[in-house]
Amino acid sequence: MTAMLIKGGTVVGPGGAFAADVLVDGEKIAALTLPGTAPDVARTIDATGRYVIPGGVDAHTHMELPFGGTSASDTFATGTAAAAWGGTTTIIDFAVQRAGESVQDGLAAWHAKAEGQCHVDYAFHQIIGGVDEASLKAMDSLVADEGITSFKLFMAYPGVFYSDDGQILRAMQQARENGAVIMMHAENGIAIDVLVAQALARGETTPVHHGLTRPAALEAEATGRAVHLAEVARDVPLYIVHLSASGALEKVAEARDAGRNVFAETCPQYLYLTLEDQLGAPGFEGAKWVCSTPLRSRHEPHARDLWKGLRTNDLAVVSTDHCPFCFKDQKELGRGDFSKIPNGIGGVEHRVDLLYQGVVDGRISLERWVETIAATPARMFGLYPRKGVIAPGSDADIVVYDPAGRTRISAGTHHMNLDHSAWEGFEIAGRVDTVVSRGSVLVRDGAFHGRKGHGRYLPRGLSRYLI
């Protein structure tokens, strides 16, 4: 692989934006130089008038996830190609263990799904769906031997992934000893199941009732409970996934103000989409936006508060929770019963653009954009400085972003294996121009140059984002 020079652009990182040329040697960044001072090389990319940012790190995806009698429609091949089109060069997916299954077998199954299929680099979190002596012991071996340093637990989905408070505490105590981060789906699943059964008994079967039976108060309650359990577990690092509501954010902010290792992510759908406008669409159309946690009401300040949380770092990361299901034959499994609609929205291709729109709208700074989509997830989950930064020695994962371009999102043009778009008709004042992964050009001039199998598995270290 010959050297490559990305010249004339503005390099953006958490510390600021500055004019520099980026010299790439093989798979690594070799140097940042003053404009026009780098040696001549055979391959050059002209980034004049554009931002040069680290490749995006999406810390929450679900490729090929079995759910509700079907599986997420993106494979590791299609999903990572779509990620690359959108400027994401690393994903962290979730290997799954259910109650009664072996953690190691679950991890092996996800390695088998992903190996040789990915267009971008990938890593795994581990879902612990059955907390027992064997799974607790396995947590230690995954940290020590497999480079898996984060474990996801569920306060939701009784009978599927749910853990009770005692199980959660035991897993947190184990993570406190081995240095891992506990990721939490924080919704009170026991109470939600009561509300769902009551709604169905009243004949309330349409998609909007998915949101109405998962009220924000039950997300706030579960978030607060997780925060307190983490405190009992001697301040184990706690990361709340897909936070959607003001009350839950208040619980996180309160813990952080007390100096606790409590962190949270949100997702683009909670920043832009609403219960009334999308989930409450006429007929069964709202099924396209069924996800958990659900979209929140536009008559409440949730989205405004989430943007504020991104500015203040009470929300550290923006991930996608990419878990796509086609409308036909998959979402339609829930016609007549919203509780049978597979939960998930496709968005791995659009995160970088949607958050850049926040820069254009004055909601976050240019530097904060790069932090939330790349630098902080890399630091949070043990990939920094290999990923998430443009610096000598880091992987040459680089996105050239054109602020003068425009992106119109549509199912007719997206690259996800999905028959609809949650973002149909959205227009972004910016455009991914060129995408480089470990020195290889994946996207340039509107064409895809990636190949299946380019992406490598990334064993991760411990978090480098703790207080």
Domains and their CATH numbers in the chain: 4-53+395-448 (2.30.40.10), 55-380 (3.20.20.140)
Average pLDDT for the chain:
97
pLDDT of residue 60: 98
Closest Cα to residue 293, out of 194, 196, 189, 198? 189
Q: Please state the rounded mean pLDDT for residues 146-168.
A: 97
pLDDT over 90 (residue 68): no
pLDDT over 80 (residue 399): yes
Q: Is residue 53 a contact partner of residue 346, using CB atoms and an 8 Å limit?
A: no
- Taking each helix axis from N to C end, the angle separating 133-141 and 165-178, rounded to the nearest 10 degrees, works out to 30
Q: Please state the rounded mean pLDDT for residues 249-254.
A: 98
pLDDT over 80 (residue 1): no
* Tens of pLDDT, residues 276-291: 999 999 999 999 999 9
Q: What is the sign of the dihedral through the CA atoms of 310, 385, 381 and 67?
A: positive
pLDDT of residue 2: 82
Percent of the chain at pLDDT > 70 equals 100
* Tens of pLDDT, residues 186-234: 999 999 999 999 999 999 999 999 999 999 999 999 999 999 999 999 9
pLDDT over 90 (residue 388): yes
pLDDT of residue 14: 87
Q: Please state the rounded mean pLDDT for residues 44-50.
A: 98
- Give the C-alpha separation, 206 to 191, whole Å: 20
Q: Please state the rounded mean pLDDT for residues 387-402.
A: 98
pLDDT of residue 400: 98
DSSP class per residue in 7-37 = ES-EEEETTEEEE-EEEEETTEEEEEE-TT-
Closest Cα to residue 38, out of 54, 27, 57, 25? 25
Q: Is the peptide bond before 237 cis (omega within 30 degrees of 0)?
A: no
E strands within 83-173? 88-98, 121-129, 150-154
pLDDT of residue 99: 84
pLDDT of residue 98: 86
* Tens of pLDDT, residues 434-465: 999 999 999 999 999 999 999 999 999 999 99
- Give the C-alpha separation, 324 to 56, whole Å: 19
Q: Please state the rounded mean pLDDT for residues 352-373.
A: 98
